[in-house]
Structure formats: structure tokens, C-alpha cells
Chain A
Amino acid sequence: MSETTIPVAIGRSVPSAAAQPPAATRSLTDDFKLGLEAPICLTWELTYACNLACRHCLSSSGRRDPAELTTEECFGVVDELQRLGVFYVNLGGGEPMLRRDFFDIVEYSTAHDVGVKFSTNGTYIDAPAARRLASMDYLDIQLSIDGATAAVNDDVRGEGSFATARAAMDHLAAAEFGAFKISVVVTRQNADQLDEFRAIAADYGAQLRITRLRPSGRGADTWDELHPTQQQQRDLYHWLLDRPDVLTGDSFFHLNALGSEQLSGLNLCGAGRVVCLIDPIGDVYACPFVIHDEFLAGNVRDEGGFSGVWKGSELFRSLREPTSAGACASCGAYDACQGGCMASKFFVGLELDDPDPECVLGHGEAELERKRAAGELVGVGALPRPGQDHSRPGATVPVSIGQRPG
């Protein structure tokens, strides 16, 4: 449920006053492409267990995995993150608060110099929990809603989930938690509600955070129905440019191809370079959106632990090598959009150097159509499926991918 967040603003916010010699010869983006000594932050899904069954869940969560990391193993991971100087973790799931040791893990992290931000659907934030959370330092909370109204939200996240999330927000406000974050995945159904989301956030003194939908997890089955239209993407680009206070986890960098002005943030795919994912059973993937064997770098239970995976994984090494623009080489917008999102390409059956399926210049849609017609989609007839599926049987409405309307 949580996803990549890089709280970095570059681009517009580059202080011109600092642009003096001795200047670095490489750009920061180039530095980051080569990979960092350790992630800036990483996503750590604590459990696949979830009381909800969101139709776009990127980790196909539902049932707890019996091989989940134990409390002691989680503490061990935190120790290692502390040694590596990882500044903070994004805890998610599943619903992370379903773990009985949730507060133990949070408290252990913050006591060991690893700040915590966690994503939750809010079900387990009642008045006492809100007071406990409000008493903790180095803690951020992201409450997920995917509609500014119950109708739009509950269609994706399940009956009653909007009221539940709002109740959690009320509890946090009453406990004077401070500025929590309201996290929204932008969909075709809610893209026209962005101002309403912002108003809800303002009411609570909260920060709005919007992120991009990927065809990952159960999102592979619902992407055709849920992903924003081209017009909505254009509107979103301008909406974000006008509202630098809205957080995005730098997830919309593919929109930069729309104009000369860049959205603030890191303009690159951080997978395996500045971010990664640790899943509930300790598997380390390049990013939260690619839970698939092809992007599995190792496991924190391996000899060498997480550091060994981050530093030694063949996969991560290859992701840090210079990439070719592939099919995008002839497009003048490549520097602006960097070819878009690896996960989005992978799960719709495109090659990793093809255009992003949501390319704002339409190259991705065209390539998808062409390859579909020519039978050239990767794994055609058997598109890549998530490597871990913990969906509860019958909890979601299956829709088969590939049957795009029109």
C-alpha cells in the first residue's frame, strides 16, 4: 500500500545562489543513477495481511504470509538500516497495524535513528491509538483514501472504507497528532476531485500527497479501468505545477514531457538506485511496484543481510548501469521524462526500454496497440503476474487485463 517516496526537491528549487564553482561535473540525477551507498529511504511492507481488498492494491495483499519476518528479525533489519545510515523507512503492507508487534517495531526504529513513516487505511486508529501515535517523535502517518467522496473511494477500497479513514483522521486531529498526510492514488474516477482532496487536507491541517497508479499487484487487473486519461494527465501536470505544496513522492516525473517546466522532485526511476522494497517475508525488490521474480534482488535472511543485497545484487548492479533510451531515443522529450516507469511497462507487457504506457505524447499507447496487434507483447496471453499474491479468495472482482475498452 505504501510506495516510493523521495522527499527531495530539485529542479525549480535549486538555489541559484549555490550555482557557483567549484561545480560538480555530473548532475545530481546522474549521480543518483549510479546508485547510492544505501537507500535514502526504503519501503518496507510489514505484512501481506489486510482487512481491506482494494482493487488496485500494488502488493495483492489480503492474507498473512506464514513466513513473515518475526519481531526479532525485524529488529535485526532496523539495526542494519541504522548502520547503513538509512534515514527513514516507509512502513506499509497490507495493513501494517494488523501486526501485533507494530508499535514495537515503530518504537524500535525511531529509537535507533531510523525515522518512520507508515501508510494505513486507518481502521485501527481509534482514540487510544491516536493518542499513542501522537506521543511519538520521528513518526509520520499517511492515511489512504482514493476518493474525496465515499462513493468514489469505496468503489475501489471497499464499502465503508471512506468513513473509516475519516474517523481515523478525526481521532488523529483530536489527539493533536499534527500534520499527518492524506495519501491518494490518482485514478480516472478521482482525478477530477483533486481540489476536494486538498480541501479535506486543509480542514485537518494535513498535507495532501498524491501518487501515480501502476498496473502492479491487483492493479494489473484494474489498470485499464482506473488509470487516468490523457486529458486528466495534462490537467494534473498543470495542477501540480501550480501547487508545489502537494507531495507526490516524485512519482509523476513522466508528466514532465508535457512542458518546459519540470515538476519539483527527483526526475528519475529510483529503483535499486536510491530506493527499494523489503516485503513481509524479507524479499528485497527493486521498488514497491515490481513484486515479481524478475526484480527480486535477494532476501534479508540471506548471508550478508540487507546490505549484502543492496551492495552485491547483480540485479541492482545492472539497474545502476547507464540505460539506453531504447525506443524513446528519437523523442526529444526523453530527457524530461526519462522514459517513465519500469513497473508500468513491465506489467502491461512492454519492454523496459519501450515508452511508458502512459506516455503523455501517446507513444506508449501506440506501441501497446502495435505490439498487441503483432502479438509481440511480452508474455502475450500470459502477461507477467505479481510474484506474490495474497489476495483473499473472492475478495476482489477479477477483470482480465488486455481487454481495453475500445
Chain B
Amino acid sequence: MRGLLIAGSAEATEATGARVELDAAWALNPRVSIRPERFGALAYHFGNRRLSFLRHPDLVKVAEGLAAADTVADALRAADVDPARWPAFRRALDTLAASDMVVRRETTTDAPSDLDPTESASPPKRSVP
């Protein structure tokens, strides 16, 4: 049985990941570039050179929607993911977190205005060296 995601590790050092809690704010790492493919998407981390396969279009939607959502749960709802599937998605996000593909945001989108909103609230962009 195949899952939602397969993470690459061959060319990277071991990264430590945090657990992705549903009520926390997360975002795609700005150094990660996502490229759509027929099976979902490829995600490449320009920092640690890891490649991951997002093997379902819904997972791509969730990953890309994290930054604009207050919580992971909001991102799952925004992507119309059936709550019955949330555990699988959370495990996939855990795996992405372990390879630094998604990162925890310290603040939510309604953060105090003195913070630079581009830090956390803008949609993920292809990283520019």
C-alpha cells in the first residue's frame, strides 16, 4: 500500500522535525520549490537538497495552503479534506517536517502589525538564491 508522500533523503543530512499539531501554524519552507506532476507534485528543498514526492493533489493543496491558514486544521478544511483522512495527512506533514520541507510558524496570519507579513503570511514562492 502506498501513501501520500515519499520523502527523499539520499543527498541530505539528517534533519530533525517537529510533530505537526492540528492547532499550530505551519508553512511551506520558503526554500522549497513545488512542481506539479500528474501524480501530485515534486518538492525540492534548495537548502538541504532533499526531494520529496507529494503523491496526492490534495496534499499539494494542503502544503501550499499552510502559510495562509491560521492552523493546520484550517488548511485541511480549506482544501476540503474529509476529517477521516486527517490522520494520514498529518503523518505526511510530519514526514515533510522531518525533512524541513514544512516549518512551524511562530505567529499566525493575524500577527501584530510590526511583523513583516511576508515572513509568514505570503504564499510560498520558489526560492531565489
Q: Judge whether A20 and B88 touch: CB under 8 Å.
A: yes
State whether the Cβ of B103 lies closer than 8 Å to any Cβ in chain A: no
**CB proximity of B82 to chain A, nearest CB, Å:** 9
Chain A contact-residue range equals 35 or more
Determine if A28 and B1 form an interchain contact, defined as CB atoms under 8 angstroms apart. no
Q: Is the CB of B35 within 8 A of A14?
A: no
Q: Which residues from chain A contact B87 at a C-beta distance below 8 Å?
A: 20
Q: Which residues of B contact A137 (CB under 8 A)?
A: 129
Q: A17 to B33, alpha carbons, bound, how many Å?
A: 24
- Mask of A28-60 contacts with B, CB within 8 angstroms, 1/0: 100100101110100000000000000000000
Chain B residues with CB under 8 Å of A113's CB are: 33, 126-129
Interface-lining segment among A5-13, A71-79, A121-129, A214-222: A5-13
The residue on B at minimum CB distance from A20 is B88
Q: Which of B2, B10, B129 contacts A7, CB < 8 Å?
A: B10
A31 touches B38 (CB 8 A): yes
Q: How far is the CA of A33 from the CA of B97 in the complex (A)?
A: 28
Contact residues in B for A146 (Cβ distance below 8 Å) = none
Rounded to whole angstroms, the CA-CA distance of A46 and B16 in the bound complex is 37
Q: From DSSP, what is the main secondary structure of chain A's interface residues?
A: loop
Shortest Cβ distance from residue A361 to the other chain B in the assembled complex, whole angstroms: 26
Question: Per-residue 0/1 for B9-52: is the Cβ within 8 Å of any A Cβ (1 yes, 0 no)?
Answer: 11110000000000000000000010111111010101001110
Q: For B120, what are the chain A residues with a Cβ–Cβ distance below 8 Å?
A: none
Q: How far is the CA of A128 from the CA of B120 in the complex (A)?
A: 39
A110 within 8 A of B: yes
* Shortest CB distance A385–B (Å): 34
Given known contacts A18-B95, A22-B85, A8 and B55 CB-to-CB distance under 8 angstroms: no
In the complex with contacts A7-B49, A8-B10, A15-B1 CB distance below 8 A: no
Range class of the B interface residue count: 35 or more
Q: Give complex CA distance A247, B8 in Å.
A: 12
B129 adjacent to A111 (CB under 8 Å):
yes
Scan A328-349; emit 1 where CB is below 8 A from any B CB, else 0: 0000000000000000000000
CA distance A36 to B42 in the complex (A): 10
Determine the distance from Cα of A18 to Cα of B30 in the docked complex, in whole angstroms. 23
| Neighbouring B residues of A13 by C-beta, 8 Å | 6-9
- A85: CB under 8 A from chain B? yes
B79 is an interface residue with CB less than 8 A from chain A: no
* Among A7, A20, A140, contact of B4 (Cβ-Cβ < 8 Å): A20
Q: Is the CB of B2 within 8 A of A19?
A: yes
How far does the alpha carbon of A2 sit from the alpha carbon of B6 in the complex, in Å? 26
Q: Is A115 an interface residue (CB 8 A)?
A: yes
Determine which of A10, A14, A21 lies in contact with B85 in the assembled complex, contact meaning CB atoms within 8 Å.
A21
5 contacts between A and B (CB under 8 A): A19-B1, A22-B85, A37-B37, A110-B129, A111-B129
By a beta-carbon cutoff of 8 Å, the part of chain B in contact with chain A is: 1-12, 33, 35-40, 42, 44, 46, 49-51, 53, 55-56, 58, 85, 87-88, 91-92, 94-95, 126-129
- Known pairs A36-B37, A138-B46 / 4 extra A-B pairs, C-beta < 8 Å: A8-B8, A18-B3, A22-B56, A88-B44
